[in-house]
Amino acid sequence: MLKLKFIGNDDTVYDLEVQDGSTVMENAVRNGVPGIEAECGGACACATCHVYVDEAWTEKVGEPEPMEEDMLDFAVDVRANSRLSCQITMSAELDGLTVRVPDSQG
Ligand code: FES
């Protein structure tokens, strides 16, 4: 199991234990983290799973693919560390990852 931390937009902290190979979005939905609607179910077609990756993790998480980049245009208040959480897959490299739910969601 890997550790994944969500910080809600009211600063509530969700410390999750998650499976290798699961997406950040799936774990938010499974654990009822508010603000991650994931309307398209992870198809990179809705932008309602937008998160901010903690600065300490941006390098490891990496840049969005072009398709994700296009979809991020539909998210609100997009920043340099914005990602769609359905496009981030948990792995040993990302053990301990921290992401924040944008203020505009939830
Ligand atoms: Fe729709 Fe991520 S769940 S883009």
Q: Print the domain residue range for 58.
A: 2-100
63: left (phi over 0), alpha (psi -120 to 50) or beta: beta
Residue 105 lies in a domain: no
Q: Calculate the CA 79 to chain-centre distance.
A: 13
The one-character DSSP state at 95 is T
Determine the pLDDT at residue 34: 97
Tally the residues of the chain. 106
**How many whole angstroms separate alpha carbon 19 and alpha carbon 1?**
5
Tell me, in angstroms, the distance from the centre of ligand 1 to residue 30's CA. 14
Tell me, in angstroms, the distance from the centre of ligand 1 to residue 83's CA. 10
Determine the pLDDT at residue 3: 98
What average pLDDT does range 36-60 have in this prediction?
97
Q: Which protein residues touch ligand 1 with a CB less than 6 Å away?
A: 25, 38-40, 42-49, 71, 84, 86
Residue 106 lies in a domain: no
Determine the pLDDT at residue 46: 96
Determine the pLDDT at residue 44: 97
Q: Are 62 and 17 in contact (CB under 8 A)?
A: no
For the chain, how many structural domains are there in total? 1
